[in-house]
Amino acid sequence: MRRAQKYADFRDYEHYVGRWWMLTGSLLLLAVPATICVVYDAWPPITDILRGLLGVAPIYWTVGTIEVLTYVPMLGTGGSYLGFLTGNLTSLKVPCALNAMQASGVEAGTEEGELISTIAIGVSSLVTTAVIAIGVLLLSSIRGFIESPMLQPAFDNILPALFGPLAVVYVSKNWKVAMAPLIFMVVLFICVPALADSVGILVPVGAIIAIVAARILYKKGLV
Amino acid sequence: MFDPNGPLMYGMTAVVILFVIAMSIRFIVMAWKRAKKIGMDPKVLRRVAISSAIFTIAPAVSILLGVIALSRALGFPLPWLRLSVIGALTYETPAAASAASAMGTDLSNLITDPVVFAAIAWVMTLGIIPGPVLVPTIGKKIENGVMRIRQKDEKWGSLFMTALFLGMISAFLGMIFATVSEGLRGWIPCFVMIASALIMCVCAVFVKVLHWKWMEDYALPISMLGGMALSIPITNLVNMIAG
């Protein structure tokens, strides 16, 4: 009980620290376009900005909201503040945190899981920053190599190369729960390939199907 | 005269990147100290840090490719800033394209008009605002809900989290099949997924049979890099067969 209280206190502290960092980070990000406007006296019409937003906001605000609902329980407090400000969640930070928790034998939603997830996401952010910085600085030397047509298939197939092994880990351990969402998603994407562009919206659909399947199996004592 | 590759843009990029580095270090230190306090083995924490660093390299190179692609229209600093911080490859290009289109232009040439550039920067920033707004406002409530489920029934709480992971993994696994109707070439992502999954199975054999405990931490990066490497001969082979 005392340990649980201390964990609750630690989470409160993380929220306090996280809110300040998130607020400062958001203001810094907003300061970038604002500075361009002020320094160059370049004020785009608000209607044009709204028209531009209309092309992305309906999808990305929905996906962003869904990501918060889905990923916050997985990443824990510290991991969420860090992950949502440093970006590249689906293709990098979430799999990185899942891998770290799995390899360390800790569960998401526990204090140990949350700490491991935060460390994994923090290190991942630092490495991403370093790789991009080194890449941009050495661009003239490496550009020919990393943009070569020979390497193109490798970068085109990052997600299949990433989610194949993740499936082995999670589906093999919980195949009864995995079957329903997996079959549903495979059939759905084969029938409606255009949905691949809005996969983020389908994450909670998969989660709801998996949770319902898990509940039924749990109630029947099958898992 | 506005220059997307000018000192002002690089200066702002440097400030934001330094902020991200400081935030990452702050959260790592906070988690590390707490982990030691509750008795977690520092060796485990070091292993997590190393394996996460190795895991990140390949996707980070892919993000670098995104920076290079966007730099043709936006210069280096803005894409560098966006993709080091909040953005994602899948979001930044459509956001920039949508804003450019609203301003009556496109991303085929370097944008040197500050008004168009500012509009693009605003749309990129505002179009992905829910995360930074919602995490501080409703993140705690979401966590408390999950905690309550766990406290009520530990086993169901654990299963609930697993189901959440499986839902996410299922959506992305399903997406890999989206191109199969395009013929043999459309199966390439599936073949790559199977190849990387098989490498994972081999790693699992090494861990379980040969007791190579260290491999547990590196199995995912090894499988992912192996899958990416194999995607090259797989693509060549499929292209050869498909003609």
The token pair that represents A29 in the structure block:
């990000």
Distance CA(A121)–CA(A95), nearest Å, equals 10
Q: State whether the Cα torsion B107-B108-B113-B114 is positive or negative.
A: positive
pLDDT band at B220 (very low <50, low <70, confident <90, very high): confident
Residues B49-76: tens digit of each pLDDT: 999 999 999 889 988 988 888 888 899 9
Amino acid in position B4: P
B4 touches chain A (CB under 8 A): no
Q: Give A-chain residues touching B51 at CB under 8 angstroms.
A: 99-100, 103
Distance CA(A32)–CA(B104), nearest Å, equals 22
Query: Which residue in the block uniquely carries the two structure tokens 């995490």?
Result: B135
Mark out the alpha helices in chain B (DSSP H runs): 7-37, 42-74, 77-84, 89-102, 114-126, 130-152, 154-176, 188-209, 215-242
B30 touches chain A (CB under 8 A): yes
pLDDT > 80? residue B120: yes
Residues A167-221: tens digit of each pLDDT: 998 888 889 999 999 999 999 999 999 988 778 788 889 989 999 999 999 999 9
pLDDT band at B236 (very low <50, low <70, confident <90, very high): very high
Distance CA(B26)–CA(B44), nearest Å, equals 20
Residues A29-52: tens digit of each pLDDT: 999 999 999 999 999 999 999 998
Which pLDDT does position B86 carry in this prediction? 80
Q: State whether the Cα torsion B3-B8-B11-B12 is positive or negative.
A: negative
B102 touches chain A (CB under 8 A): yes
Amino acid in position B31: A
pLDDT band at A91 (very low <50, low <70, confident <90, very high): confident
Distance CA(A122)–CA(A76), nearest Å, equals 13
The token pair that represents B54 in the structure block:
């190795």
Task: Give the A window 194-213 contacts with B, CB below 8 Å.
Answer: 195-196, 199, 202-211, 213
- Report the candidate in B73, B59, B179, B66 with the shortest Cα–Cα distance to residue A197: B179
Which pLDDT does position A135 carry in this prediction? 92
A144 touches chain B (CB under 8 A): no
Closest-CA distance of chain A to residue B116, Å: 7
Residues A99-150: tens digit of each pLDDT: 999 889 898 888 999 999 999 999 999 999 999 999 988 887 887 887 888 9
Residues B174-200: tens digit of each pLDDT: 999 999 999 999 999 999 999 999 999
Please, how many CA atoms are within 13 Å of residue B160, restricted to the half-sphere of its CB? Answer: 17
Q: Indicate if ipTM > 0.90.
A: no
CA distances from A68 to A41, A64, A171 (A): 36, 6, 23
Cβ–Cβ contacts within 10 Å for residue A52, how many? 27
Q: State whether the Cα torsion A98-B204-B32-B26 is positive or negative.
A: negative
How would you write A53-94 as a 3-class SS string? HHHHHHHHHHHHHHHHHHHHHHHHHHHHHHHHHHCCHHHHHH
User: Of the candidates A14, A84, A109, which has its C-beta nearest B30's C-beta?
Assistant: A14
pLDDT band at B151 (very low <50, low <70, confident <90, very high): confident
Residue of B nearest to A25 (CA): B19
Tell me the average pLDDT of chain B. Answer: 91
Sequence spans of domains, chain B: 7-128, 183-243
Which pLDDT does position B8 carry in this prediction? 94
pLDDT > 90? residue B203: yes
Q: Give A-chain residues touching B200 at CB under 8 angstroms.
A: 164-165, 168-169
User: Of the candidates A49, A60, A73, which has its C-beta nearest B119's C-beta?
Assistant: A49
Helix H or strand E segment including A208:
helix A199-219
Distance CA(B54)–CA(B239), nearest Å, equals 31
Cβ–Cβ contacts within 10 Å for residue B113, how many? 14
Choose the mutation target among B33, B160, B175 for the interface with A, i.e. most A CBs under 10 Å.
B175
pLDDT band at B94 (very low <50, low <70, confident <90, very high): confident
Which pLDDT does position A127 carry in this prediction? 96
Which pLDDT does position B130 carry in this prediction? 85
B167 touches chain A (CB under 8 A): yes
Which pLDDT does position B213 carry in this prediction? 80
Q: Do B160 and A214 touch (CB under 8 A)?
A: yes
User: Of the candidates B31, B119, B147, which has its C-beta nearest A119's C-beta?
Assistant: B31
Residues B9-55: tens digit of each pLDDT: 999 999 999 999 999 999 999 999 999 999 999 999 999 999 999 99
Instruction: Find which of A1-5, A54-58, B31-35 is predicted with most confidence, using mean pLDDT.
Output: B31-35
Asked if B55 and B220 count as a contact pair (C-beta separation under 8 A), the reply is: yes
pLDDT > 90? residue A20: yes
Asked if A101 and A117 count as a contact pair (C-beta separation under 8 A), the reply is: yes
Asked if A161 and A92 count as a contact pair (C-beta separation under 8 A), the reply is: no
The token pair that represents B55 in the structure block:
């895991």
From first CA to last CA, the distance across chain B in angstroms is 51
Asked if A34 and A101 count as a contact pair (C-beta separation under 8 A), the reply is: no
* Greatest distance between any 2 Cα atoms in chain B: 66
Q: Give B-chain residues touching A25 at CB under 8 angstroms.
A: 19-20, 23, 85-86, 132
Which pLDDT does position A196 carry in this prediction? 86
Query: Which residue in the block uniquely carries the two structure tokens 């199996």?
Result: A217
Q: Do B204 and A168 touch (CB under 8 A)?
A: yes
In angstroms and rounded to an integer, the radius of gyration of the C-alpha atoms of chain B is 22
Distance CA(A22)–CA(A57), nearest Å, equals 21
From first CA to last CA, the distance across chain A in angstroms is 28
